[in-house]
A and B are shown apart, each in its own frame.
Chain A
Amino acid sequence: MTNTTRRLMRGVGLLCAAVLGTTACGGSGGDDSGGEVSASDVRAALEKGGSITVWAWEPTLEQVAADFEEKYPKVDVELVNAGTGNDHYTALQNAMSAGSGVPDVAQIEYFALGQFALTESVHDLAAFGADEFDGTFSPGPWNAVRASGGVHALPMDSGPMALFYNKDVFDEHGVEVPTTWDEYVDAARALHEADPDVYIANDTGDPGLATSLIWQAGGRPYRTDGTDVTIDFTDEGTTAYTGTWQKLLDEDLLAPVTSWSDEWYQGLSDGTIATLAAGAWMPANFESGVPKGSGSWRVAPLPQWKEGASDSAENGGSGLALPTAGENRELAYAFARYATTGDGVRARVDAGAFPATTEELESEEFLGTEFDYFGGQKANEIFAESSANVSDGWSYLPYQVYANSVFNDTVGKAYVSDEPLAEGLKAWQRSCVEYGREQGFTVNE
């Protein structure tokens, strides 16, 4: 009988995850003993050895895993790429619901961490002594992993935003690189007029970009306090974003190309997409996906909403979390700690990752790195400055994975019809409020 019930519960959990592509079905955490893990426990585990499974798609971790195994010969790290982004979260959620095959360490993006933290599906690393890293990481990522109280992951990378632009295209048409979003709209007009094939950017509705720009503009649409959630897309920052983006939409100044599609890579290659506002992780993607653009692209600070300001926001970035249903948490913690601080970070930076640790962000070597791809520019100076200027107080929804999955059904309408962007955001808000209430959150508008 208990067996049947348990299977039924698993079934319900799985269906929730499989059908909705998300969680928040209630706390189905594993057998969390909840005890503290001390530094000597971790040392003992490393001496004893064993094996851990790490689910991550971040390619630089391969080197880290190899280094870690070399340093601790008795430990075996199995690095599994179980999919990227949403595929990864669905798989992770399914494994947690099924109670089997849960990894010991999982890469989780900051926007998705809330739902795992809230359902207690990941360990609170404060009990492992992770508080010692206060000050080790730059404020953006450190706040992100502490958003729901406790420390729910160790920050692996961060995505302070910058404006990537195709210098050749700007030079060819004699257009200045914009420093404010108003200038950005003017530049968009000038470029598109000079060559109708050229668009200043592509956008078909990207929740990550929209929330990041609202963040930069000072908007704080989400406020979360435990299961108490407020969603409000009418504050001043949000209005600044919709006002400007509406101009770009109304005048058809954005290329109707979805990011990360092959068309997008093509547009970045052939100069028809002239700028890209993205996180500091983008250089690696440029090098592998847009080889032809080498030498043409440059990095500039993100345009400002108010002239003379220097606000920035994060876009992307992820941490390493320890699922409660995973085994061998001492070794798992040791690996996460190694990969996110100390030698692991240096190996990852050498392989092209953008760090979340202040030590690396402030080091001369890091700041002085010249990017051949960007014509020898010291791009890290811009990224590091952006990282220091990320405005605080931002939080995501505890079910942001779901919210992002319905962005195109709601806000997307503004991109393909006459519906105003602000109306689209209202529809998104309604949809998120409704879902949150169904899941048992107290949601205020």
Chain B
Amino acid sequence: MSAPAPTLSTTRSTPDGRARSAARLRAPRRRRHSADRPRRSVTLTLLTGLVLLYSLVPLVWLIVSATKTQEGLFGSFGLWFDGDFALWENITRTLTYDGGVFVRWLFNTLLYVVLGAGGATFLAVLGGYGLAKFDFPGRRAVLAVVIGAVAVPGTALAVPTFLMFSGLGLTNTPWAVIVPSLISPFGLYLMWVFTSEAVPTELLEAARIDGAGEARTFFRVALPLLGPGIVTVSLFTMVATWNNYFLPLIMIKDPDWYPLTLGLDAWNSQASTAGGEAIFDLVITGSLLTIVPLIAAFLLLQRYWQSGLAAGSVKE
């Protein structure tokens, strides 16, 4: 943990920033309190413990189940290991089943995340910066549109989007998943608020006075200050794209272009047809493999997820 105090001024008004700074601010104080009075709230500890258990049980179940054979899945207690430990065998079979189609789906998902979520983050950063730091007519109207867009669930847009892409002849191609993923109203909103707080206008003015063009000002001065916001937005868009199910479901019919979500669903529904092969063990192992990259991304990006680079750079 870094020193908590200077983070406050810059992240005051981002929703996440506020919660985090508040937590950081409170943390040392509570420690001091508990040093004075070593009595802790039992109720609160129990409650948080319950919530922790509630959120961890599915994960534990998934990990435990991934070590079982299909026979073991039906024959043993769900939250404990079965006699034979089949995790490695399951992983191998998951990666090789049906000509290694799982690996193909993994690459598809990565493609959608890199192009879709990456593009969405890039556009959100550009848009957020523009809206926060440039004054132009119609800014309030844009604000209304963005807030409105945040409120529209993606599911409601799915059918119109499908019709549009069908008209463009893009259904059943990767573009049908990538292009809609490029738009992230919430990401734009987040970058907008973050930029207006994290990048002092004085700093930009100073850069301009020193003769830097707009592009240079953005890339050399503003962008480095936006790191925490960019990481936050990219995590959001990444998770959204990684887990996206409904959009690819209606857009893509060719299993060669399935993302992992659709692929696993297809494997799962194999068990429910005459003549289909039930592969619950592979569905479970595949699900575990699917969430590993997300967990890794969170752990790796966590350290960038802090703010305060520009703290104290200008007098307020």
Q: Give residues in A with beta carbon < 8 Å to B.
A: 7, 10-11, 14-15, 18, 55, 57-60, 80-85, 87, 91, 94-95, 98, 100-101, 157, 159, 260-262, 265-266, 269-270, 279, 281-282, 284-285, 288-289, 291-292, 316, 352-353
Contact = CB atoms under 8 A, between A and B. Distances in A.
Given A260-B271, A291-B70, A292-B74, A82 B276 contact: no
Contact of A353 (B75, B162, B275, B280): B275
Given A14-B162, A270-B74, A291-B71, A87 B269 contact: yes
A59 B276 contact: yes
10 contacts: A15-B159, A81-B255, A85-B272, A87-B269, A98-B163, A265-B271, A265-B278, A270-B75, A285-B278, A288-B276
Interface string B248-288: 00100111000000000010011111111111100000000
A91 B252 CA distance: 10
B297 to A, nearest CB: 30
Contact of B172 (A101, A265, A289): A101
B269 A285 contact: no
Contacts of B172: 100-101
A101 B171 contact: yes
Interface of B: 70-71, 73-75, 159, 162-163, 166-167, 169, 171-172, 250, 253-255, 266, 269-280
Given A82-B253, A266-B74, A269-B71, A316 B274 contact: yes
A83 B275 contact: no
Contacts of B166: 10, 98, 100
B166 to A, nearest CB: 4
A281 B74 contact: no
A58 B274 CA distance: 8
Contact of A159 (B74, B75, B271, B274): B274
Contacts of B277: 59, 284, 288-289
Given A7-B163, A60-B275, A94-B250, 15 more contacts: A18-B159, A57-B270, A81-B255, A83-B269, A84-B270, A91-B253, A98-B162, A100-B171, A159-B274, A262-B271, A262-B280, A265-B74, A265-B278, A282-B274, A289-B70
Contacts of B272: 84-85, 260-261
Contacts of B271: 260, 262, 265, 289
Contacts of A83: 266, 269
Contacts of A291: 70-71
Contacts of B255: 80-82
A211 to B, nearest CB: 15
B274 A279 contact: yes
A292 B71 contact: yes
A91 B250 CA distance: 8
Contact of A80 (B167, B171, B254): B254
Contact of A289 (B169, B254, B266, B278): B278
A269 B73 CA distance: 11
B253 A84 contact: no
